[in-house]
Structures are given as C-alpha cells and as structure tokens.
Amino acid sequence: MAKNDKHWKNMMAKETDRKAAKEGKDPLEEGLEGLSWLENQKRIVKKRIEKTRETFGEEVGNSITAGILAAYVLGLIPFASVHSYIKAPEGMGLTDSFGISAFLVTMFLANLFTTIYHFLKHGSTHKRVFRKLDHIMVYYAILGVYAPTCLSLIGGKLGIGIAIAELALAVCGTLLMVFMYPDNKTGSKFAISIYGIMAVLFLFVLKPFHEAATTPCFWLLLAGAAIYAVGLFFYSGKKFKFSHMVWHLMVVAASVCHILAYVYFFR
C-alpha cells in the first residue's frame, strides 16, 4: 500500500514535490502510528488511575475514620456550647459559646462530607460533586479553628481582622473550587494554596494567643497543627496502601488535640 501510494504521488505531484513524496510517509501509516500512540497513552493513564485510586477496603477505612470523628463531634456540640457559656468570664458567655460551637460545627460538616465522599463509587457524578464539597469544607474547618481564638481570646481589631481575612479566603477558595477545580490547573493550584495561606495567618496572632490562652490550650493547639503538618506527608507524598487512611488517623489525632484545647482547657 505504501509503495502504490508513493507511486501515485510521483505521477501526480509536481516535479518539485516528487523528492519530498518519495521520502514522505504514507498518510494512512502515519494515522495508524498516531492511533497506536493514542491507545498507548490511554493505557498509561489508566494504569496511573489504577495505581492512585483507593481500593474498596481503603475507602471503607477512610469513611469509618472520618465517620467516627463526625459522630463524636456531633454529640459533643450541645455539651460544649453550654460548658463554654458557663465557664466564660462575665460578658463573654455568648461569644465563647458561639466561637466554640462554630469550631465544632465546621469540623463536623468537614468530616461528614469526607465520610460521604469516600463511601461513594469511583467515577460517579456524586463522588465528583462530593469531592469538591469535601475540599470546600476544609476552608471552613480551618476558619472554625480560628473562631474561638480570634473572637474570644484576642478580639479587638486584630482578632476581628484575622477572622474577616480567614472568611474572605474561605469564600475565595469556595468559588475557585466550584468553578475551576480540577479542570483549570492555575485555578486549582491557587485553590489548594489558600489552605496554606489560611494556616500561615496564625503566625500573626501567635504572640497574643500565647499571652491570652491557658498553657494546655496553647500547647494542645500547636500540637494539633504539628500533627496536621506531619499528616500532609501521607496525604501528598508517595502513595501506598492505606496511606490516605493514615492521613485520616492523623486528622483525628490533630482534631482531638484541638477539641481538648477549646472544649476542656479554653478557660
């Protein structure tokens, strides 16, 4: 076929094109080569997906770890809201209760969406939707961690200013996740980077927080942040079986530190 095609090219082409026609490849052969390359790329992508996708057992483990934490936090909310109101200094009851309740509610919702996301079938529309919701709720979980510190312990222009900045970043991240994640690479990278920006802002309130917080509250909050940081290695590093579940266990440990800090040692 290739020889006949080159003969046809020599007969019909102009004199100046004959040399190029003899040296050129048959279009059909080029098309078949391109198709072969495309199929090979599909196989490579499929293998990558299979390697990074969690197994059924892993997803069950992911759902259970997040679900247990969500159930615990949900049961803790009524006690914590009343306890923080009673323990608060005069005139700070509602503020303390609101801040700690916001912290627990956002933590509950974040773990609830994580539980549902990991429970759903791979490749389904519902799983893609809940993946976005899962990522979005992380912004508000971080915002919730700031609420008791900024509203009750620090207050004033600095505390309110940091709280407003955190809220603005959470809203910005939400919009990026809704409209750009994961299709737009630039938007997705910026959406992910907002997590880091929200966390780093705590450095601006570290000194006044240290001065205002009880010693156990301060160190438990820092311990939780350190555990989150270590857990990121398992979340973003080289994947192995149940690596994401290890990340979930680190989240549980960090969350327990923060719960102890705010619910039991806040005042």
- 134-178 pLDDT, tens digit per residue, is 999 999 999 999 999 999 999 999 999 999 999 999 999 999 999
Identify whether the C-beta of residue 109 lies closer than 8 Å to the C-beta of residue 71. no
- Two structure tokens written together for 214: 């009880």
Q: What is the rounded average pLDDT of the residues 190-216?
A: 95
CA distance readout (Å), 57 to 14, 92, 133, 233, 240: 66, 47, 22, 21, 13
Judge if 70 and 195 occupy the same domain. yes
Judge if 36 and 152 occupy the same domain. no
In whole angstroms, give the CA distance from residue 262 to residue 55.
36
Answer yes or no: is 50 within a domain.
Answer: no
Judge if 80 and 145 occupy the same domain. yes
CATH code where residue 154 lies = 1.20.1070.10
In whole angstroms, give the CA distance from residue 69 to residue 57.
19
Give per-residue pLDDT as tens, 58-101: 899 999 999 999 999 999 999 999 999 999 999 999 999 999 99
Judge if 172 and 131 occupy the same domain. yes
Reference 110, options 263, 253, 252, 232; nearest CA is: 252
Judge if 249 and 131 occupy the same domain. yes
Judge if 20 and 60 occupy the same domain. no
Q: How many domains, the chain?
A: 2
Reference 62, options 12, 120, 18; nearest CA is: 120
List helix spans (H) across 53-124.
56-87, 93-119
Q: Report which secondary-structure segment, H or E, holds 92.
A: none
Answer yes or no: is 49 within a domain.
Answer: no
* Domain that includes residue 156, residue range: 55-264
pTM, to two decimals: 0.79
Asked whether residue 54 carries a pLDDT value surpassing 50, the answer given is yes
CA distance readout (Å), 110 to 103, 141, 145, 192, 219: 11, 6, 12, 16, 24
Could you tell me which residue, 154 or 236, shows the higher pLDDT? 154
Judge if 100 and 11 occupy the same domain. no
